[in-house]
Amino acid sequence: MNKMINICKRIVGGDFVNESNKYPFMATIWYLDGEEFKFKSGAIYIGKRYFLTAAHCLKNREIIRMLVRMGDTSLRRLPMTFRVKKAFTHPNFNGKNLQNDIAIIEVDKDVKAEPIRIPCDHLKDNCYNLGHKVKVLGFGKDCAASSQDHLLDLKEVDLRIVPIEESKYHRSLITNDMFLAGNTINGKTVDACTGDSGGPCIKMIRQNWVLVGVVSWGSGCGNKNLPGVYTKVLSYHNWIRNICKFGGCGNH
């Protein structure tokens, strides 16, 4: 029994997403727990029958007990449900230090939704500039001490890409295939949290949303100088394109 008191006023900070089709690529992973499927983490629709998520979200999970669900901003009504045909965890994923925390999920039928673009080399100069604005989406907790493990409604929050030197993380923990993003809004440190992992960190580039990161880990949630850590999607675009057989750049 979790006796922690819920001291959260209201992802940590940010706003609820009110428009149901604002982020049509936002997806979720559910897992059979006893008799019922329960929400576990975020996922991102990237085209054809493929989704991205964090590798740690699939650890010790059987694909026959997993669903991918999407299509609205409330977990109470997600009209599209898919079974998982195959999961591809990155071959160099390390569950201890969360290096290469990325996985691809292939579902069992066609997906009628607009995918997000994944970055490729011609965008590399735009994706990870320090100080640039990005956004993270998720159903995760609104503070580390929350007694609920997730929210029922999708939230979004604006973050900025933060240099490692501005954080308290030991350099050796943050590889070149990760980046940090955080922000302070009205004096409050905003962040991703438990339940947001596997979900998208996106950036508007030339009027399109581009998937720059996957929510991976962090030391607590909303702690000053300990921003969220994201898997750098650009580092994996060749791996993704090979598995998904996307032609051209990114998934287009």
Question: 2: how many CB neighbours lie within 10 A of its CB?
Answer: 9
Does 194 bind ligand 4AZ (CB under 6 A)? Our answer is yes
By the 8 A CB rule, do 214 and 200 touch?
yes
Contact 125, 34 (CB under 8 A): no
Q: Per CB under 6 A, which region of 15-23, 112-120, 190-198, 239-247 contacts ligand 4AZ?
A: 190-198
Query: With binding defined as CB under 6 A, does residue 136 bind ligand 4AZ?
Result: no
Is 149 among the residues known to form the active site? Answer: no
Q: What is the closest distance, in whole angstroms, from the C-beta atom of residue 191 to ligand 4AZ in the complex?
A: 4
From the list 73, 89, 167, 197, which residue makes contact with ligand 4AZ (rule: CB under 6 A)?
Answer: 197
Q: Cβ(107)–Cβ(82) under 8 Å?
A: yes
Residues 79-98 binding ligand 4AZ (CB under 6 A) are: none
Under 8 Å between Cβ of 78 and 65: no
**239 counts as binding ligand 4AZ under rule CB under 6 A:** no
- The count of residues interacting with ligand 4AZ (CB under 6 A) is 11
What is the helix (H) or strand (E) element at residue 189, kind and residue range?
strand 188-190
To ligand 4AZ, the closest distance from the beta carbon of 156 in angstroms equals: 15
Integer CA distances (angstroms), 129 to 20, 141, 162, 173, 210, in order: 30, 28, 9, 20, 14
Alpha carbons within 13 angstroms on the beta-carbon side of residue 30 total 19
Quick one: which of 44, 67, 151, 215 contacts ligand 4AZ (CB under 6 A)?
215
Segment near ligand 4AZ (CB under 6 A), from 20-28, 67-75, 93-101, 191-199?
191-199
Please report, as ranges, the residues that interact with ligand 4AZ according to CB under 6 A: 191-194, 196-197, 215, 217-218, 221, 228
